[in-house]
Chain A
């Protein structure tokens, strides 16, 4: 495509004429113009609409923004640098951007982003969206992203002077800044309870309870590095919590999955036995499924790991159990510095039903944050801290007992000192005995529910 344009000067001239840039001072954007065609909605067309808004305060800014972006497309380099911009009372949440080519594009020399926390589950009324648009039209650039990779609504393009005004107006309609830098970051939760039968806990409640409890860690960055929470209602993990968060809360259940055998038969009747066996039975990762001769389904629930595959395929016939809660995995992050890590199971199951259960989740989140603040090195994510000190030391610090659900397999290396193995084994048996005792008590109400 670049070849078709010929030399820059040759292509710039006719384009300039066509766009009438000589008249109204609009930067020609021949490279960006190529991104206006095609069936997908074009951000370039949107940016142009903003610069062509007559009488709007942001029109000149957006013209220079387009000019700078075109310049990036020509030079294949970015031209923004950071700085320090904020709002009164907060230490983070604004991403400062100053142009390195401001002499050419002076109107967009300051183009800061306000990161704003979204409602849990990303629900909006058109009324509130219009209010957000009005605010950004008055104080910002008119460009908003729904949403950034951490979940923030990103109000992109604000002068230093207007940053406080824009925030005050957003704050007035019930929105608050998100996280940036070495801080607790903005969180996200899946649609969950609001519109999904797979959802195993109240994601809105968990998301809001945890994040709103620790806002100080978001607004006044004082952690060693970033810390992210994410909330997925089931192991399909639609908000990518295991890969992308330090603290992943994933819904699950402990009892048997539910099977509507009549619906199973209907499904087999519809798709055929071969499809059923190839796509449901054979895809079970722990070989827990078997198709009976009468086209009903046999489930070995003790071996089921709730991967969700069969529930995803047979949404009507199969569903989650009744004993609902969450698994918590700690330490997911991308490359810097030790390489990618996924979260590790630290809490195999935490019941998530009563007020006390949700309080317990918040309490546990606080303990992990405290551990992170006290023990991580500068610019170290909690997964890296665990890697550095070893999982046993982390568990000891957190007063959590080791559990075989935390591992793929036990160690294969003999390089370990085991002289207190017997004492540790005794602790394990004692713990098991206590759990069995609690289990018996907990079984009480479960039995009565089953008898209904």
Chain B
């Protein structure tokens, strides 16, 4: 188009790449023609097509944030065992497809030897959904990679085994935007103080009407502070959600002490049995304590093992609590029930018990 040498060429707007050029040949040949599957052991899936074709999949955990050396190592393994094809799951596990079961054991041995745990299938604790955190986000309250690494170290046995009542999906999020999404157990930043405003900066950096509009409780209003146009926050109304911080960085919501973590349970994406559900708050004010976040790990493990011990087969965490009731959940986990568990947001009434269905 342009003859100007300095100007870069216009992009080739190719969009979503065609996966068939990368797909394992057995998957490609049997596309849309699979009949059933079973699981031979944790981390290994076996799929059979209507024509009797078979494929074996070995799933392994990764650190998601991978250096090129790790990726190349996984490629070497893929070349040696899986005909040069791999895929990733939505939870950053890598999958190697095998045309023959003979390679399952050597592949598992290889992966385990190279430090990639094999598992994450069926009723296991799969890899924790992972956001960006201090490594790369512009508004994070905590680090995602560190929380995930610490917790997965702790839960490693639950990843490589299938001993939970049903699958467990844990999520993390570094701010209340909650990029990690809903989870059986969610570990999310929960701010505890209103934003600290740098009034010298607001007028220069922020589009003030947009910031005012962003607040869910209308607690922000334009103001002149020290002769400069700025914003002020009605701290009695402020719910410390941090919504004003991304559009206006001078409204610092994070603090080394005030940024806390909250634990939520009972989120579920699948439509299996019960309809999808949101996770619910069970613990707050948990310290944001790198590099191991031990207080978070303790609460997560308490919930996880109460579930493991008490839930029936196929019950997800939310379904288990639905059956035993919230009083028993707080009893079994030893977590405190407070006024902060009572919802006050729009539609809160729907979460209140308007019956005599009482658990004793």
A interface with B by C-beta (< 8 Å)? 1-2, 31-32, 34-35, 37-44, 46-47, 49-50, 65, 69, 72-73, 75-82, 87-90, 95, 97, 111, 113, 117-130, 132-133, 136-137, 142-149, 151, 156, 164, 167-168, 171, 174-177, 187-188, 190-191, 193-197, 199, 202, 204, 207-208, 211-212, 215, 218-219, 235-240, 242-244, 250, 278-279, 283-285, 305-309, 312-313, 315-316, 319, 334-340, 342, 378-379
Check: B325 CB closer than 8 A to any chain A CB.
no
Shortest beta-carbon distance from A213 to chain B in Å: 9
Q: Encode contact with A along B179-205: 1 for CB under 8 Å, 0 otherwise.
A: 111100000000000000000000000
Contact indicator A211/B11 (Cβ below 8 Å): no
**How distant is B167 from chain A, measured CB to nearest CB, in Å?**
10
On chain A, the residues within 8 Å of B314 by CB distance are 279, 283, 309, 313
- Point out the residue from A120, A144, A168 that lies within 8 Å of B19, measured CB to CB: A120
Interface majority SS on B: helix, strand, loop or mixed?
loop
Please state if B38 and A188 are interface contacts (CB–CB under 8 Å).
no
Q: Provide the bound-state CA to CA distance between A95 and B257, in Å.
A: 28
Q: Mark B243-279, 1 if CB is under 8 A from A, else 0.
A: 1000001000011110100000001011111111010
Tell me the bound Cα distance from A312 to B122 in angstroms.
10
Residues in B whose Cβ lies below 8 Å from that of A215:
13, 15
Contact between B177 and A195, CB atoms less than 8 A apart: no
Tell me whether B72 and A133 are in contact (CB under 8 A): yes
B208 shortest CB reach to chain A, Å: 14
Which one, B8, B61, B90, B145, contacts A239 given CB within 8 A?
B90
Q: Do B131 and A124 touch (CB < 8 A)?
A: no
Are B243's CB and A336's CB within 8 A? yes
The answer to whether A147 and B92 have CB atoms under 8 Å apart is yes
Q: Mind listing 6 A-B residue pairs with CB under 8 Å? A: A1-B294, A123-B24, A137-B68, A144-B68, A145-B65, A336-B177
Q: Which of B81-89, B225-233, B330-338 faces chain A?
A: B81-89
Q: How far is the CA of A128 from the CA of B34 in the complex (A)?
A: 26
What residues on A are CB-neighbors of B10 within 8 Å?
Answer: 88-89
Look across to chain A and name the residue whose beta carbon is closest to the beta carbon of B246: A82
Min CB gap A283→B, angstroms: 5
B308 at the interface (CB under 8 A from A): no
Tell me the bound Cα distance from A118 to B10 in angstroms: 21
The stretch that binds A, out of B102-110, B210-218, B352-360, is B210-218
Residues of A within 8 A of B346 (CB): 338-339
Question: Is the beta-carbon distance between A117 and B16 smaller than 8 angstroms?
Answer: yes
Residues of A within 8 A of B210 (CB): 378-379
* A76 interface neighbour in B7, B149, B288, B313, Cβ under 8 Å: B288
Which A-chain residue is minimally distant from B256 (CB atoms)?
Answer: A76
A315, B85: Cβ atoms closer than 8 Å: no
In the complex, which residues of chain B have a beta carbon less than 8 angstroms from the beta carbon of A342?
276, 278
Let me know if A46 and B8 touch, CB within 8 A.
Answer: no
Question: Lowest 6 CB-CB distances: which A-B pairs, in order?
Answer: A38-B153, A46-B67, A72-B134, A235-B271, A119-B19, A126-B75
Pick the contact of B272: A47, A121, A137, A236 (CB < 8 A).
A236
For B149, the chain A residues whose CB sits under 8 A away are 35, 38, 40, 42-44
- The docked-state distance in angstroms from the alpha carbon of A144 to that of B116 is 17
Across-interface contacts of A146 in B (CB, < 8 A): 62, 64, 66, 71, 88, 92, 94
Chain B CB within 10 Å, residue with most, of A133, A211, A244: A133
Residues of A within 8 A of B97 (CB): 195
CA distance A278 to B180 in the complex (A): 33
Q: Is there an interface contact between A236 and B271, defined as CB atoms closer than 8 Å?
A: yes
> A2 contacts B138, CB within 8 Å?
no
B136 and A147 contacting across the interface, CB-CB below 8 Å: no
Q: A95-B136, A193-B31 are in contact. List 7 more A-B contacts (CB 8 A).
A: A89-B11, A126-B79, A191-B89, A194-B23, A194-B28, A236-B270, A378-B210
Size of interface on B: residues with Cβ below 8 Å to A: 123
Choose among A95, A120, A125, A339 the residue with the greatest number of B CB atoms under 10 Å from its CB: A125
Contacts of B276 in A (CB 8 A): 237, 242-243, 342
Among A2, A126, A175, which residue has its beta carbon within 8 angstroms of that of B84? A126
B85, B90, B141, B176: the one within 8 Å of A238 (CB): B90
A319 touches B89 (CB 8 A): no
Q: Is the CB of B36 within 8 A of A125?
A: no
Residues of A within 8 A of B254 (CB): 77-78
Of the candidates B47, B69, B269, the one whose C-beta lies within 8 Å of that of A237 is B269
B215's nearest neighbour on chain A, judged by CB, is A337
Q: Please report the C-alpha to C-alpha distance between residue A240 and residue B218 in the assembled complex, in whole angstroms.
A: 31
For B313, the chain A residues whose CB sits under 8 A away are 278-279
B271 touches A97 (CB 8 A): no
Task: Name which residue of chain A comes closest to B37, CB basis.
Answer: A315
List the A side residues contacting B224 at CB < 8 Å.
none
Using known A-B contacts A46-B63, A76-B290, A379-B210, determine if residue A196 contacts B16 with beta carbons closer than 8 Å.
no
**Minimum Cβ distance to chain B for residue A212 (Å):** 4
Most buried by A among B27, B68, B92, B292: B68
Whether the Cβ atoms of B63 and A42 lie closer than 8 Å is yes
Chain B residues near A142: list those with CB within 8 A: 67-69
Whole-angstrom CA separation of A78 from B75 in the bound complex: 33
Q: Is the CB of A118 within 8 A of B134?
A: no
**Interchain nearest-CB distance for A184 vs B (Å):** 11
Report yes or no: A88 in contact with B8, Cβ–Cβ below 8 A: yes
B87→A143 contact, CB < 8 A: no
- Closest chain B residue, CB of each to CB of A136: B68
